């Protein structure tokens, strides 16, 4: 299974700690800076557990995501403002999984 939000041509937006994503994402994104690439290796207990998710992610699966942090609260690398034409709420950090090699690995 391989999925990239780049296929949608827009970043995946979320607010950490609000239950918008699996626990492994909430923990894995902490400490990232805009422009940083990180590979998250997430055990099933911080992912979808023994149930999995739909037909594509089986139960007890270890998940691997290559993530690029684009901006935090609308501010990108060097403090530049990242414009979002569809959503004016700049309280959400923007994330995008990436197919390039990450600079850092985080095993949870």
- The CATH code of the domain that includes 67 is 3.10.50.40
| Residue 2, pLDDT score | 66
Confidence category of residue 98, pLDDT binned at 50, 70, 90? very low
Whether the predicted pLDDT of 104 surpasses 90: no
Distance between CA atoms of 23 and 52, rounded to whole angstroms?
14
Quick: pLDDT tens for 6-24: 777 788 888 989 999 999 9
Whether the predicted pLDDT of 78 surpasses 80: no
Tracing tokens 């609308």 back to the chain, one arrives at: 74
Strand order in the sheet with 12-13: 12-13, 94-97, 63-71, 37-42, 104-107
Considering its fold, how many domains does the chain have in total? 1
Q: For residue 88, what are its two tokens? A: 């004016």
Distance between CA atoms of 54 and 85, rounded to whole angstroms?
32
pTM here? 0.69
Q: What domain range includes position 48?
A: 5-107
| Residue 30, pLDDT score | 93
Quick: pLDDT tens for 20-66: 999 999 999 999 999 999 999 999 999 999 999 998 899 999 999 99
Distance between CA atoms of 15 and 48, rounded to whole angstroms?
19
């Amino acid at each position: 299974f391989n999925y990239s939000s780049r296929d949608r041509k827009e970043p995946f937006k979320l607010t950490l700690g609000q239950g918008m994503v699996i626990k492994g994402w909430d923990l894995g994104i902490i400490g990232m800076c805009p422009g940083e690439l990180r590979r998250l290796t997430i055990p099933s207990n911080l992912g979808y557990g023994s149930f999995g998710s739909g037909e594509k992610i089986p139960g007890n699966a270890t998940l691997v995501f290559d993530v690029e942090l684009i901006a935090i609260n609308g501010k990108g690398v060097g403090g530049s403002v990242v414009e979002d034409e569809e959503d004016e709420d700049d309280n959400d950090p923007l994330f995008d999984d990436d197919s390039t090699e990450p600079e850092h690995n985080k095993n949870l």
